[in-house]
Amino acid sequence: MILPLLQVVFLGALLLYLAKWRGSLRSRNIKSWDQLLCQIRTDWSARDLSNQFLWKQGLVVTPEEIWERVEGPHGLWVMHQNARVILEMADFAARNATPDNPVDPMLVESIRTDAMQIRLCVLMAIAQYGISSATAGVKVNAWRAADLYANMAARMTQIMQNHAALRLPDFVAAM
């Protein structure tokens, strides 16, 4: 008697989850550049990560300096959330590319890869920070996340220069 009831409850929960997931995909697909830019968190700026942030890839600072510039877990969490938004922006550019103005699929794929790695590095750094404060392992993960973030933001700048040049100043200001 209980087993069929559990099956019905489980199936209902699964169907509800799938319906919400499909709805979130639909709402994500109808967003515009402006809506995506508004989702970038501006309460922490990544400009301090390097002198050439958004225009040149790579960092030339130590993990200790990055930890200070990131402002600890707060900056890491902002990177985590902004990585998702930048990933959505790259997907938006790829979906709305035209044959006359295509988006390089390798560039979009590298942004996807970086976004997922950033999110993983940030979660690892925050978990380590919660256990052992700001140790060398936390700082190395923060440096790795910051380096990936700078590279990903530079690639997104390239895409925006080609596909949303009017929105580029807003993107630069938000970052």
d(CA 82, CA 17): 25
Calculate ∠ Cα 48-50-53, nearest 5°: 95
* 87 in Cβ contact with 140 (< 8 Å): no
Query: Which has more confidence, 25 or 147?
Result: 147
* 10 in Cβ contact with 2 (< 8 Å): no
Q: Domain ranges in the chain?
A: 1-30, 32-174
Calculate ∠ Cα 106-142-114, nearest 5°: 10
| pTM attached to this predicted model | 0.77
Q: Which amino acid is at 113?
A: T
Q: Tokens 């390097």 correspond to what residue? A: 50
* pLDDT for position 72: 85
pLDDT digits (tens, 9 = 90+) for 77-122: 999 999 999 999 888 888 887 788 788 889 999 999 999 999 999 9
